[in-house]
Chains A and B, each alone.
Chain A
């Protein structure tokens, strides 16, 4: 019996132990399950995922952990409206009633702590009734989510099963709701800070006040999740500087003006902090008769400059959803950023105007300079200022390059005289020295100067004006006018005047000029000058036989042969018809002259081929040597002429020196 009793006691004990064990397991399960709920949510909240992913993970996990078929997350503090920011279990096309003063708004006002929504409310409250019926909702719970400083959102969990939400679940969800709110706060804060950083980069690119204002209102309304923003002007009659409000009324409307005036007197604003104000008659004493503004909440951030309130940056919401403390802080930061950008833009604008004026003046100057340069180009002149040592102090760049092939920079410091033709150097030196001694006078000369570094000479009419005494110049101003073309034309005319057009030899007048000069020089130097006079022996017959063309050809050929017999300093001339003269300067001896005469006679005797016919011409030569201080050009020429006739008479093809006996 005792054994049986003992056995039954043992069995009972075992059963008791089993029950206790199961009880302990259940307790452990409950504890671990709650820990799991907290851990799962915290794991997600610590995940640095983008906001959208984070919200989705939150509602999926809450749904799973609390067996809630429906989870809806509101975040008016962040979103600025009563639309769910995330939801699961709702039909895709289901729209909550989200009117500004609707049921969601009233829930926020009514249920400040976690609340199990009773069956009656589920069945009758318009927020739940339709959806509860549609989805078979049997239990629901409202969890307000309080952030670090204020209420910012709420969670609704709903079950289609008959399992009620327990007190423990409600407490747990309240704690989790707070963590979710703080996480949303952090994410929002990070996102807003990113706006500020990006905004800084964006705004930093602009220096135009209008662009900055437009960027500011656009970014501000996005950043604080408002429907639009306005930049108010605290000074001046037009209150709205810039706006992106979709519902913006006429800018001139007095309600906006009143609002701006009212907000600019707000004590928080005046201390430099942003503030969130509900737009209703309780908060803002709109005068009777003013039209109602289409917004219910305004976030105002001040823009100060030099301690004065200049502008207000305001963001508007249609719902009376307060902007959170974090958002207000961010708004304060952002408005300071915009104030700085606008100040910079004003400074830039002032600078720009000044610069524009300067540019305008400079443009006029440049225009004058261009005209002057054009003038200089047209007059083909180089204007230079020379130092006393003849180096170039200044020279006009464009003309110098055009006329001398070198820039002004290259020329400054060089000696101008290095560019002058050796034959003209002495003359220019004299002219320069004269100018140096004659302040204020214009002294001119024509000299050849080198173009660039090549041996390419051009003629310049140089006018030197001594302005050494002029304090602003302190140099000799030299104007170089390129007269090369003019000089070439002049030379051509000279040649035409001095040369025989058929043979290219000197004409009679030119020959006589040269002869005069040569005789003068010979007299000075006590040397002798010789005249060789000759004509062609059979020229008239040749002309008659072969025609004038043949005659001309014979004259040209002889002229060429004559030149080949002479030195460069000797001058040959055609006096007319077939008469030629040659001026031989500085005759040392009769012997040297004889060699010239032999070469000349040989060339005259050499037949000329014309139309395949060899024509023998021949010539008679008379020579006269000058007597210093006695002979002039005419007399010497006459002497040579006499000698030539003597040679003809003596039997052609010979040369005879003048002898006084011929007279």
Chain B
């Protein structure tokens, strides 16, 4: 039994009306079948409670999860900052769903991760394979801890994918949704119980430059030293940039084109982003900080290589589950900055390679995808699951 997926979007200004309109479109696309789960991504600019009411006025008590974002992928379209809301309605197909959420998770990430994994798993019931869509407040701290908490319950047989909610890069307050609740400083997990393995597809398109460094000192949100030297100095030298050229203000303009790659066992890298440099020579990291002793490389890429990732992810996702009705994608808000006016191409290329599946995606402040081991937090990366 195949999943049927219906998507809808609205750019109406009134939150309730927008929610209702998007939901109606999504439900209509199910051709009369009952939805088993509702997933929504929205601009944070709406009155969110009103928006949820509008959606629930259509979807009723169908379990709902979602998050505020930094833009949405709606099929082949890109909806930019403040554009509106997108709604995905899915029938159960071969899956069973469970949803759980936790609020005010900061300082309690591991426990919160375990809790939502346990609850959502219980709600969905046992199955030989499973996947989880994890959405969390990007301002809640080191989300790797949340991920580890989740993994303690899921183990390796559950594919984990997702992203950190955004407020269109304001970094003031982000929200996730659980049924009729707008959850503050929280996380929500959708457990997908499946009879067959589900894969998460992850690519970033970045390549290392030069020799790797050891992080010799990292504290809080900063890398203080790389290879025993001030981190900013080592970073700039690697790129052949004069240290006076970059200031705290203009650092981001360069560093977003040269993130750091956390070296993995198989030679692959997981991306981390230096947001700026500080007067003491340290690098301020956006999101999860590579711990002391990590091996990192300065990365580089091209616009084309980064966009090509969308094609690969779309192709691999649909290959992993050819019967999928939808590809749920999580891309990084930083990629919008990199692509600028070409941003819509990402959704378009993804959709172009998604076969019959519909693309339903979101731009996040950090992506979740467990590929191996317990590490599952990414930046400047595109990750997706085909259902």
Contact = CB atoms under 8 A, between A and B. Distances in A.
A25 B213 CA distance: 12
B211 A64 contact: no
Contacts, number: 94
Interface residues of A, number: 36
Interface string B350-366: 00000000000000000
Interface string A10-29: 00000000000000011011
Nearest to B370: A69
Given A40-B294, A67-B264, A70-B156, A60 B211 contact: no
A177 B156 CA distance: 23
A67 B213 CA distance: 20
Interface in B210-266: 210-214, 263-266
B199 interface: no
Given A32-B213, A42-B293, A92-B152, A67 B267 contact: no
B267 A135 contact: no
A89 B155 CA distance: 4
A29 B292 contact: no
B208 interface: yes
Among B211, B265, B294, B373, find the residue whose CB has the most chain A CB atoms closer than 10 A.
B373
A235 B139 CA distance: 68
Contacts of B266: 67, 163
Contacts of B293: 36, 38-43
B212 A88 contact: no
Interface string A149-188: 0000000000111010000000000000000000000000
A28 B374 contact: no
A90 B213 CA distance: 33
Contacts of B372: 67-69, 159, 161
A24 to B, nearest CB: 8
A65 B264 CA distance: 7
B153 interface: yes
B134 to A, nearest CB: 17
Contact of A64 (B153, B157, B373): B373
Interface in B195-212: 208, 210-212
B92 interface: no
Contacts of B267: 26, 29
A69 B375 CA distance: 10
A28 B156 contact: no
Contacts of A134: 157
A66 B291 CA distance: 15
B148 interface: yes
Given A67-B266, A159-B372, A29 B152 contact: no
A29 B266 CA distance: 10
Nearest to B374: A63
A136 B266 CA distance: 19
B95 interface: no
Contact of B263 (A29, A42, A43, A136): A29
Contact of A136 (B157, B212, B213, B297): B157
A33 B208 CA distance: 14
A374 interface: no
Contacts of B41: none
B295 interface: yes
A35 interface: yes
B46 interface: no
A246 interface: no
A91 interface: yes
A40 B292 contact: yes
Contact of A68 (B208, B212, B373): B373
A32 B295 contact: yes
B175 interface: no
Interface in B363-385: 372-375
Given A33-B295, A36-B295, A64 B263 contact: no
A373 B260 CA distance: 96
Contacts of B265: 33, 65-67, 163
Interface string B291-332: 111110100000000000000000000000000000000000
B211 A91 contact: no
Interface string A64-80: 11111110000000000
Given A25-B211, A63-B373, A32 B263 contact: yes
Interface string B49-81: 000000000000000000000000000000000
Nearest to A35: B214
B292 A88 contact: no
B191 interface: no
B97 interface: no
B211 A69 contact: no
A64 B156 contact: no
Among A36, A65, A91, find the residue whose CB has the most chain B CB atoms closer than 10 A.
A36
A36 B374 contact: no
A67 B262 CA distance: 13
A161 B297 CA distance: 25
Given A32-B213, A42-B293, A43-B291, A66 B373 contact: yes
Nearest to B295: A36
A34 to B, nearest CB: 9
A32 B211 contact: yes
B16 interface: no
A268 to B, nearest CB: 42
B152 A32 contact: no
Contact of B151 (A26, A28, A33, A88): A88
B374 A43 contact: no
Interface in A106-145: 134-136
Interface in B111-131: 118
B155 A90 contact: yes
Nearest to A134: B157
A378 to B, nearest CB: 77
A29 B264 CA distance: 10
Contacts of A28: 211-212
Contacts of A70: 155-156
Nearest to B212: A32
A347 to B, nearest CB: 52
Contacts of B373: 63-69
B156 A69 contact: yes
Contacts of A163: 265-266
A67 B268 CA distance: 11
A60 B374 contact: yes
Nearest to A67: B372
Interface in A310-337: none
Nearest to A70: B156
Contacts of A61: 291
A36 B214 CA distance: 6
Nearest to A42: B293
Nearest to A29: B212
A319 to B, nearest CB: 26
B211 A39 contact: no
A654 B265 CA distance: 151
Contacts of B375: 64
B87 to A, nearest CB: 34
Contacts of B263: 29, 32-33, 36
A519 B229 CA distance: 133
A26 B208 CA distance: 11
A345 B53 CA distance: 75
B74 to A, nearest CB: 34
Contacts of A36: 214, 263, 293-295
Nearest to B129: A136
16 contacts: A28-B212, A29-B212, A32-B212, A35-B214, A36-B295, A39-B292, A41-B293, A43-B292, A60-B148, A63-B373, A63-B374, A66-B265, A66-B373, A88-B151, A91-B155, A92-B152
Given A29-B297, A64-B373, A64-B375, 19 more contacts: A25-B208, A25-B211, A26-B267, A28-B212, A29-B263, A38-B293, A39-B292, A40-B294, A43-B293, A60-B374, A67-B265, A67-B372, A67-B373, A68-B372, A70-B156, A88-B148, A90-B155, A91-B155, A160-B156
Q: Which 5 A-B pairs have the closest CB atoms?
A: A39-B293, A69-B156, A36-B295, A40-B293, A67-B372
